[in-house]
Structure 1
């Protein structure tokens, strides 16, 4: 601790510096603070305002910040002084933040600017090595965090036994989304054109065969039922996880001429298969009826058939039949069909087949019967649940299909 005389000499040196010599108010304020500290006087903001800045007893610190603002500036001026003219001083005058008592603090040689610079320069190689170690540690942690995050998005590999042809395809992948057939007709009753959806009519040919004398126009706007839309996300996630960007089309846009140009995935209602229904009838052992909801399975080399039916959709307990067919296309391409009668089934089976963990039992059954998970197959599922929420999935039929269009009995 310095004596009072030493403090006065140090104060005079500061006051005569360039930083303070032209600022009478800060000379006065600093002198006041140092003398108060020497005399042991307790300082408050109100006391300083009255005795230094000429305020009266009505001074309110909450409304007037003159003391705090001048104290802030005084600290900055002291910092500037010790950075320039006072950098060689052995003692430094400090005004702690939040207080007004001044103290003279001895300066250790360890923190002298020149000494500190020389020490840093001398240890520069060590500092570089330490910085590189920290940087490498941060990069390693970032890499591990990224790998952990990517594992959340990685669903399967390109050699997936069910989706392999689509994940490493030389052909573009086309997702055909089932859309209902709608038609427009001018209504005399409403005196405007109305859009009509008749569940028993699923193409222009069917309409004309039932009502040959009526004049209607197909609606230019598509309508996608629930089971088409909510079957898409798991399949897109699967494809995007290996950077395959599919083309999306309405099922009404498909025609026989393009069936050999893509690896095709159909998602949606059985009623919206349209062109692809011929592929189902020719390439698989399934046939289906729209009304009533009926799937007929006719394996080769047998006289019998198996018939599976489901009721109409309700908002309560529901069951649905879902065809899952991976069939050989006309040009060594693949046609994958996931189609159901109601909105319950197709989204559930799309999720089921896109998840390696969920479909483990499905693959196990094929391997037990055929010794492998075949490239092409046909399967029928029954899905039960409430409204659109599935609770149980049952495999009714599973069968291997050869690329030469023959099939094994299951």
Structure 2
């Protein structure tokens, strides 16, 4: 769908710009070509000469039309390099054609919308900075963790890398007819997109990779809980998004991963090796024990989220600890994190008799509120960790 209103506004701005102030023939020519393109018409050289220049075209005049088109194309390039560098609609004349193509710069439109609320964002950000500053100054607000699962991250003296799972987007034509960020739960990495395009080659010219990602609420809320234990100088903490993570980032560091099962990126095979295999399309997973395979289905019932959050914890041979907290809906990880930091839940600490184990929590809740959370499985990981983690 073509947005005629925005195109008309852009054309009006172009025609009144310094770049198109003179000679006037280029304003007439651009206006003519835009109107023809909006009607779906592609005029011939003779028609342009007659309609714009008011003369019947001979061979010499046809050559002049080409020159005028070339000069007009150069004027558009000059305009967008200077006066129109922040425009959200780009007018282009393809080589060898006498029509105008319209390109919508969605990211610039978003930036412009964001600038409208810059003062409010600045104030909110300033308040958060003040709060963080107060917390850092008052280091007594930070308490070293008491539970064994967290205390292990303080010895030996490795930095703690916190990885927040962020969701993958690609660029596609959205419902309004423009290019925008799209999400498909089956496509969670560049590799997934490549595999999809191999099966659907007709989409190759329509879908492009994007740097746009987003995190849902479980990740930052989990980060906040962790920083209450390890912030304020208690530990050396670093943070990355899962889309930014590379294997080399994990070396010589403890790692805590918090996020949706759809944000694992290249770490997914690691979890499969310890007996957790996720079906992303159906939001379910299988859990391998020593003698059976269990199936867990995340679903909603009676307006409640019924979520199974999973935990994987193991120790590398050099003493580095690795912890994954995974769920589908936000409430799963939020409830599991609350459970694991509550000293009242001694049942988990009593069962935690090995360094390498996996567990499942059953959570019932709504939105960000858990009404019930139960530890229903905890099993040792028997696989050789040196073959799983670098």
Calculate the TM-score normalised by the size of structure 1: 0.54
SS of the residue aligned with 1:324?
A: strand
Q: 2:189 aligns with which of 203, 224, 241?
A: 203
Residues 171 and 208 in structure 2, CA contact (< 8 A), matched pair in contact too: yes
Q: Work out whether 1:359 is the aligned partner of 2:345.
A: yes
Matches within 5 A, 1:312-351: 316-329=303-316, 332-351=319-338
Q: Work out whether 1:393 is the aligned partner of 2:373.
A: yes
Aligned equivalent of 1:166: 153
Structure 1 residues 329 and 166: CA distance shift in structure 2, 3 A? same
Aligned residues: 244
Partner Cα distance (1:262, 1:405) in 2:
15
SS of the residue aligned with 2:299?
A: coil
Q: 1:292 aligns with which of 278, 282, 289?
A: 282
Partner Cα distance (1:236, 1:150) in 2:
12
Runs of 4+ aligned residues of structure 1 deviating over 6 Å after TM superposition are none
Q: 2:238 aligns with which of 229, 235, 247?
A: 247
Shift of 1:341: 0.9
Q: 1:305 aligns with which of 293, 313, 326?
A: 293
Calculate the TM-score normalised by the size of structure 2: 0.57
Aligned equivalent of 2:257: 266
Q: 2:166 aligns with which of 156, 159, 179?
A: 179
Shift of 1:191: 5.7
Partner Cα distance (2:265, 2:302) in 1:
27
- Which has the greater radius of gyration? 1
Q: Report the aligned-residue RMSD.
A: 2.7
Q: 2:269 aligns with which of 273, 278, 300?
A: 278
Structure 1 residues 340 and 348: CA distance shift in structure 2, 3 A? same
Partner Cα distance (1:154, 1:328) in 2:
23
Structure 2: segments with no counterpart, 5+ residues: 1-137
Residues 144 and 230 in structure 2, CA contact (< 8 A), matched pair in contact too: no
Partner Cα distance (2:237, 2:283) in 1:
31
Shift of 1:182: 0.7
Partner Cα distance (2:234, 2:160) in 1:
12
Structure 1 residues 399 and 242: CA distance shift in structure 2, 3 A? farther
Residues 175 and 264 in structure 1, CA contact (< 8 A), matched pair in contact too: yes
Shift of 1:346: 0.6
SS of the residue aligned with 2:187?
A: coil
Partner Cα distance (1:232, 1:310) in 2:
23
Partner Cα distance (1:393, 1:277) in 2:
25
Partner Cα distance (1:186, 1:386) in 2:
33
Residues 216 and 330 in structure 2, CA contact (< 8 A), matched pair in contact too: yes
Residues 142 and 230 in structure 2, CA contact (< 8 A), matched pair in contact too: no
Partner Cα distance (1:205, 1:319) in 2:
30
Q: 1:218 aligns with which of 209, 213, 221?
A: 209
Structure 1: segments with no counterpart, 5+ residues: 1-148, 367-372
Aligned equivalent of 1:235: 226
Residues 313 and 356 in structure 2, CA contact (< 8 A), matched pair in contact too: yes
Aligned equivalent of 1:11: none
Aligned equivalent of 1:154: 143
